[in-house]
Amino acid sequence: MKSKFSSVILGCMDWGSWRRSFSASEMADLMQHGLSEGLSTFDHADIYGDYSVEAQFGEAFAQSKIDRSAIQIITKCGIQYPCQSRPHSVKHYQYDTDYIIQSAESSIKALKCDYLDAFLLHRPSPLMDPEAIAKAAEHLQSQGKVIDFGVSNFTPSQTDLIQKTTKVTINQIEASLTHLDPFFDGSLDHMLTNNIRPMSWRPLGHVFKDKTEQTHRIHALLGALCEHYGASKDQLLLAWLLHHPAGIIPVVGTTTKERMSAAAGAAKINLSQMHWFQLLVASQGHKVP
């Protein structure tokens, strides 16, 4: 399945107030660098930075003078996140027809991008009505405001619920060498069967964050493989995901040019099947059945 998105996606969650608080010129510089490395897809959600990062990115995009057709923009909706701009009494999800349409149009306006290459339902809600969602998706796609419609963090059955009435082309899930559930719970099988593109958030897992027996085993093997492939550990972790036949696209939440360049290089690594399984075994701590 050929992808219309770059081999690695740049996640913009940490570009704003939740972490780095980049200025518009700094964001524009990162965008330009990403493009120079072949990373043309940028991932957002309306809630990032307490509903502020999309507009900041939009200012940067306008400053950058990058042609709209040169990049792909993904964003998500549905989480009602309690913060100063939305003083809800409780975090919840909202997916009625009018709200989905309003969210997409608000994101397009904030991002200054005319249309969205992909628009995702951020997390599944127990109150999802597939008919209401279908009306919103049909409206947005018929007007050219959304190209691809998808989901995020959905199980196969939740995806099928939406697919009753709306074509789902993307599911953005957590998947990594330390989060193996999608490889064994049917999630990736379901996506392959239904021609749904998997995108992986937190693709490096907890390899660099936690010091456990699992991560110790992984680091030991990665150290040996780095020399073999002439690659860094983070590149090999991305290459491990990229090797999967479902066509997993890692969403890398980096905020530095150096790590952007490294992520782009991961797509050039031809990881062997033997090394793929060695990394799996290092993560699991036991041989495959």
Hey, which residues are catalytic here?
48
116 phi and psi angles, rounded to 5 deg = -110, 130
- Show the CA angle centred on residue 49, arms to residues 47 and 50, nearest 5°: 55
Report DSSP state, residue 202: S
Handedness of CA 230, 236, 238, 244 (dihedral sign): positive
Other C-beta atoms within 10 Å of 2: how many?
Answer: 4
59 phi and psi angles, rounded to 5 deg = -60, -45
Tell me how far apart the alpha carbons of residues 84 and 25 are, in angstroms, rounded to a whole number: 26
Other C-beta atoms within 10 Å of 220: how many?
Answer: 10
Tokens representing 195 are 């021609």
User: Shortest CA distance to 42 belongs to which of 24, 63, 23, 61?
Assistant: 61
- Show the CA angle centred on residue 65, arms to residues 10 and 118, nearest 5°: 40
Name the helix (H) or strand (E) containing 175. none
DSSP conformation letters of 97-140: HHHHHHHHHHHHHHHT-SSEEEEEE-S--TT--HHHHHHHHHHH
CB-facing half-sphere around the CA of 254: CA atoms within 13 A? 24
Tokens representing 103 are 């969210």
- Give the residues across from 176 on adjacent strands: 179
